[in-house]
């Protein structure tokens, strides 16, 4: 064996051609590059919206928004382009299935799809990006415009937003599994979301496990500090369901309304607050990943939710049409009631009574 080893190491290139040893005759295999489909050139806007929820201009807008983050530092010829990373991620969010992304003839391996999606979602959920598209209005003209828009729905005055919680189903996490089990007995992230009258998301909190009650999420949110710190003027209200405490700035329905003004108040309240239910329905059906079980760790799921909210508002701003079914309310979320044995400090009850008698007699 030692003689053979010496012979192999001393063999010249010309000798290798005639050598009978198959190991030496074996030629170096050329590395082949995967062919990648350019859907921006092969699909029209209608097909792009159907598959990726944005048209060509919208996809390029999102890509330019996070291009610096997505651009690979590698000098390899076959580095994945930022456009392809965005397209792959949009397909994942639209379908909820990573396998569907790689089966779309995009030319990426499954490990590459996973890395690309993680990178893109992380970029879209960065605070600097989120704040560009999701922020609660503080200026008087915008607040007044929202009051007018909500007033036109059912005659409920002073409304600048509608609030609700929605549960995003997840797989059972490996740590602190029990805190993610919600009242319907499945694992979830409980997301607080506020919609404007035109179905744009103006505030979102996506970080709490499913067992957390809506009232606690609100109590520890920046939104409460905006209202109670008087950053938002008086006579501006949110509408929420009975799971929230009644406040001078957060009006909830009467649990047992009397005939007359209280019943009138409840009817207008329900019609106006339906905006948040339909808005959540639009969000989940536009990005179907939120409509099923997200098979990621809780921290990554929160980034997915935030990224979807940003993209939803981009779609609204670019007037990307909703699917016909998107006008339905979110059937997975029914009205939540206050947790038993817990004081929700219903400090707004006297204000609500005065408000009802003034506007709904």
Q: Give the DSSP H or E segment for 206.
A: strand 201-209
Closest CA to 250 of 229, 270, 224, 271: 224
Closest CA to 177 of 136, 209, 133, 202: 209
Q: Is the pLDDT of residue 115 over 80?
A: yes
Lowest-confidence pick of 19-28, 95-104, 158-167, 189-198: 19-28
Average pLDDT over residues 135-163: 97
pLDDT score at 358: 96
Closest CA to 65 of 314, 321, 308, 316: 314
Cα-flanking dihedrals φ and ψ of residue 315, to 5°? -60, -45
Measure CA of the first residue to CA of the last residue in the chain; give whole Å: 104
Q: What is the pTM of this model?
A: 0.85
Q: Exposed, middle or buried: residue 295 (CB in 10 Å: 0-12, 13-18, 19+)?
A: middle
Q: What is the pLDDT of residues 227-255, one digit of tens each?
A: 999 999 999 999 999 999 999 999 999 99
Alpha helices in the chain (DSSP H): 2-10, 13-18, 22-25, 39-42, 45-52, 56-65, 67-70, 82-95, 98-102, 110-124, 127-133, 140-154, 214-219, 222-228, 261-286, 298-317, 349-359
What is d(CA 35, CA 4) in angstroms, rounded to the nearest whole number? Answer: 42
Q: Is the pLDDT of residue 208 over 80?
A: yes
What is d(CA 236, CA 146) in angstroms, rounded to the nearest whole number? Answer: 10
Q: What is the pLDDT of residues 19-68, one digit of tens each?
A: 455 444 545 444 434 456 688 988 999 999 999 999 999 999 999 999 99
Of residues 192 and 331, more confidence is placed in 192
Closest CA to 137 of 62, 65, 202, 55: 202
Judge contact between 334 and 166, C-beta under 8 A. Answer: no
Strand order, beta sheet including 250-251: 201-209, 188-195, 159-169, 237-239, 250-251
Cα-flanking dihedrals φ and ψ of residue 323, to 5°? -70, 150
What is d(CA 168, CA 308) in angstroms, rounded to the nearest whole number? Answer: 12
Q: Exposed, middle or buried: residue 74 (CB in 10 Å: 0-12, 13-18, 19+)?
A: exposed
For residue 4, name the pLDDT band (cuts at 50, 70, 90). Answer: very low
What is d(CA 104, CA 118) in angstroms, rounded to the nearest whole number? Answer: 18
Would you give the DSSP letter of residue 254?
Answer: -
């Amino acid at each position: 064996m030692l003689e053979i080893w010496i012979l192999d190491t001393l063999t010249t290139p010309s000798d290798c051609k005639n050598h009978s040893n198959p190991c030496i005759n074996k030629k170096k295999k050329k590395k082949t590059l995967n062919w990648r489909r350019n859907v921006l050139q092969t699909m029209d806007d209608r097909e792009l919206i159907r598959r990726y929820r944005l048209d060509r201009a919208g996809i390029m807008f999102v890509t330019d928004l996070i291009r610096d983050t997505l651009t690979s530092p590698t000098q390899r010829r076959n580095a994945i382009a930022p456009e392809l990373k965005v397209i792959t991620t949009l397909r994942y969010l639209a379908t909820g299935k990573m396998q569907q992304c790689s089966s779309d003839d995009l030319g990426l391996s499954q490990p590459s799809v996973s890395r690309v999606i993680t990178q893109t979602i992380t970029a879209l959920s960065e605070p600097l990006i989120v704040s560009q598209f999701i922020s609660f209005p503080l200026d008087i003209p915008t607040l007044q415009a929202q009051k007018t828009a909500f007033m036109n729905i059912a005659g409920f005055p002073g409304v600048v937003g509608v609030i609700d919680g929605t549960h995003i189903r997840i797989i059972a996490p490996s740590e602190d599994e029990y805190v993610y089990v919600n009242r319907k007995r499945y694992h979830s992230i409980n997301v607080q979301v506020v919609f404007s009258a035109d179905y744009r998301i103006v505030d979102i909190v996506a970080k709490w496990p499913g067992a957390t009650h809506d009232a606690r999420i609100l109590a520890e949110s920046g939104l409460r500090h905006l209202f109670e710190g008087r950053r938002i003027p008086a006579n501006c209200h949110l509408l929420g369901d009975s799971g929230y405490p009644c406040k001078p700035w957060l009006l909830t329905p009467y649990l047992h309304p009397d005939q007359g003004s209280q019943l009138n108040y409840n009817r207008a309240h329900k019609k106006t607050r339906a905006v948040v239910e339909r808005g959540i329905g639009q969000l989940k059906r536009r990005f179907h990943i939120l409509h099923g079980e997200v098979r990621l760790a809780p921290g990554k799921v929160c980034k997915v939710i935030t990224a979807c909210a940003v993209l939803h508002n981009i779609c609204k701003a670019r007037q990307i049409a909703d699917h016909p079914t998107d006008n339905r309310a979110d059937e997975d979320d029914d009205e939540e009631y206050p947790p038993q044995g817990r004081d929700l400090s219903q400090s707004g009850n006297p204000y609500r009574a005065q408000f009802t008698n003034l506007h709904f007699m």
